[in-house]
Structures are given as structure tokens and as C-alpha cells.
């Protein structure tokens, strides 16, 4: 079984055994195993995200002509006005934001997002869900909950099914606005359009749906609008530092410290990343040192240094 698993890794990651010494080959297999484990983790969350978001849309929002904020809200508004299938609009409206994601986050993130959005479009178009209720308050609350749960799970899987956050990250690196400010302004415009196209009541219910969805996203992701300060302590700190610079395209700060028992000198790495970049950082650290001591804390906002100059 182990040989079959190893063979699968060799084929997937195109590892050439005959061209590598044994130690280098084993290291590549080890790195591929970590990459594969994280890939399975991400796929699992993306599939859950698609199911949850589809249920929120087909079971609550769509049958009752409700809308949400963000890119999904734009898609729902256009679908109601033009009668273009929502499945097509989900993909079409998200394309510009995914292109932004290539430069703002990473190419791997963009690929995962394309897969997640495409799966969501197929699910909305082909999969049937029962209409749960016609009560407007319940539709707004639970439709927003399941849609927000889907968006949050997609982020946990290293992707998005709604490009609003990608736009916010992209714009925040070029302006003094925070990610939260950009998301809020973006949705104010959407709700204004909804009030004009439909009526005030639908716009107010859309705001309620968005508030529930955003709180659910915060609960699932633990704060997508915040930076994460990561402190890493490892005897292989120099290798981790190089990986951060070369693989993530980020800078980091090195503290000098001492071990509490042996009083040996150690280097402590500190780096700021966004929630969308955290999975990649954890993967690179685990490749080098699975026993590295890592602490994380939320940072509301940051500027200067390498934070807004060099994308991942």
C-alpha cells in the first residue's frame, strides 16, 4: 500500500527518481506527501463549501427572489433583470476578480477558486434542492447563514466562491483603505442598486442576508479581514526564512532569543500574512520542520514594509 501511495505521489508531482540521489528523492517524496495532504484538505473544504452555498441559494434565496451582497449579489441582481442563468453569471462575474487574485494572492489560489466557482455553477444549475420556507425573515437569516458558511469554508480551503475579498485585498494594497472599508463600500453600492431595481424592502432584506452571511464567514474563518501575525520557533529557522522569501514572496523579521531550559541561542521568525495566505505558509513550514513551534494572533490592519509592496 505504501509503494502504491508513493507511486501516486511520484506521478502527480512528476518526481524523477533516476535523476536524484536517494536523500534528495526522499526529501521530494516527503514534500510531495505534505502537499498532497494539504490538497486533500482543501478539496474537502471546497466540496463542503459548494454544497452549503448551493443549498443557501436554491433552498432559500433564489425561489423567493432574495439577493445577497458581494459578487453573488451582483450575479443575483443581473439574473433577475436579464433572465440569464445564475450558473453562467456566477462564473462570468467572478472572472475579473480571479484574475486579480493571480497577482494579489497566488496562481495556486486562483486555480482553486476557478474550480470552486465552476463546481458551484454546476451545482446551482443541475442539482435540485427543496424549497425550505417562504417566510421572509427565515429566508434572509438561513439563506445568509448557508451562503456565508459556503464562502467561509471555501476560504478555509484556500479559495473563494465570491470575489469580493479578492477585490478588497487588491485595492487595499494600492490605497490607504482597509479591507473592511472596501467590502463595506462595495456592498453599499450593491444594496443601493437593489433598492432602485427592485424595492426598498428587498434591499433591506438583502442587508439582513449579508449581515448574517458576513458574521458566519467571520465565525468559520476567524476573521478574513484581519492580518495574522505568525511567530515561528524552530532549529531550522534559516531554512524556513528562505522558504518564506522564495516560496511565499514575503519578508520576515528575525528576533534573537534563548531557550528557556538550555539557554541556547535561537532565531525567532515573525511574519504577517492574510488568512488567504496562511495555508501556504503552514504547508511550507511543515515541509521543513513538522515540530516547529508556531503561534498566531489576529492583527486588525498593517501597512508599510513588505505588506503592500509585494504580493504573494
Predicted pLDDT of residue 300:
63
| Cβ atoms of 50 and 189 closer than 8 Å | no
Distances (CA, A) of 160 to 15, 108, 113, 238, 264: 30, 12, 5, 32, 43
Predicted pLDDT of residue 311:
40
Give the length of the chain.
312
Predicted pLDDT of residue 2:
52
For 226-312, give the CATH class.
alpha beta
Predicted pLDDT of residue 310:
38
Q: Which three cell numbers stand for residue 312?
A: 504573494
Mean pLDDT of successive 10-residue stretches along the chain, which has 312 residues = 60 63 70 82 93 93 83 86 88 88 82 91 90 90 91 86 78 68 79 85 87 82 69 93 88 87 85 84 91 86 56 38
| Interacting residues of 119 by C-beta distance below 8 A, sequence separation 6+ | 46, 47, 50
Per DSSP, helices labelled H in the chain are 2-12, 22-56, 70-82, 86-104, 107-126, 136-156, 164-172, 179-197, 200-221, 237-247, 275-288
Rounded Cα–Cα distance for residues 119 and 121 (Å):
5
**Three-class SS of residue 133?**
coil
Amino acid at each position: 500500500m505504501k509503494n502504491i501511495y508513493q507511486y501516486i505521489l511520484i506521478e502527480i508531482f512528476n518526481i524523477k527518481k533516476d535523476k536524484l540521489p536517494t536523500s534528495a528523492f526522499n526529501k521530494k517524496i516527503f514534500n510531495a506527501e505534505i502537499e498532497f495532504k494539504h490538497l486533500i484538505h482543501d478539496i474537502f473544504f471546497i466540496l463542503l463549501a459548494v454544497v452549503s452555498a448551493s443549498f443557501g441559494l436554491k433552498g432559500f434565496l433564489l425561489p423567493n427572489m432574495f439577493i445577497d451582497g458581494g459578487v453573488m449579489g451582483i450575479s443575483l441582481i443581473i439574473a433577475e433583470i436579464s433572465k440569464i442563468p445564475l450558473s453562467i453569471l456566477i462564473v462570468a462575474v467572478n472572472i475579473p476578480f480571479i484574475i486579480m487574485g493571480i497577482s494579489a494572492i497566488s496562481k495556486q489560489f486562483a486555480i482553486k477558486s476557478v474550480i470552486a466557482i465552476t463546481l458551484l455553477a454546476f451545482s446551482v444549475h443541475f442539482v435540485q434542492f427543496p424549497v425550505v420556507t417562504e417566510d421572509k425573515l427565515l429566508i434572509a437569516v438561513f439563506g445568509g447563514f448557508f451562503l456565508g458558511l459556503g464562502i467561509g469554508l471555501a476560504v478555509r480551503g484556500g479559495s473563494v466562491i465570491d470575489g469580493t475579498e479578492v477585490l478588497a485585498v487588491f485595492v487595499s494594497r494600492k490605497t490607504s483603505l482597509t479591507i473592511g472599508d472596501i467590502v463595506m463600500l462595495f456592498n453599499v453600492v450593491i444594496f443601493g442598486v437593489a433598492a432602485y431595481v427592485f424595492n426598498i424592502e428587498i434591499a433591506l432584506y438583502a442587508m439582513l442576508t449579508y449581515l448574517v452571511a458576513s458574521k458566519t464567514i467571520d465565525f468559520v474563518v476567524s476573521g478574513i479581514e484581519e492580518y495574522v501575525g505568525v511567530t515561528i520557533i524552530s532549529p531550522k529557522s534559516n531554512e524556513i526564512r528562505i522558504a518564506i522569501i522564495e516560496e511565499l514572496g514575503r519578508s520576515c523579521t528575525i528576533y534573537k532569543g534563548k531557550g528557556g531550559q538550555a539557554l541556547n541561542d535561537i532565531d525567532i521568525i515573525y511574519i504577517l500574512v492574510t488568512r488567504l495566505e496562511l495555508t501556504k505558509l503552514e504547508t511550507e513550514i511543515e515541509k521543513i520542520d513538522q515540530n516547529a513551534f508556531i503561534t498566531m494572533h489576529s492583527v486588525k490592519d498593517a501597512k508599510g514594509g513588505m505588506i503592500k509592496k509585494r504580493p504573494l
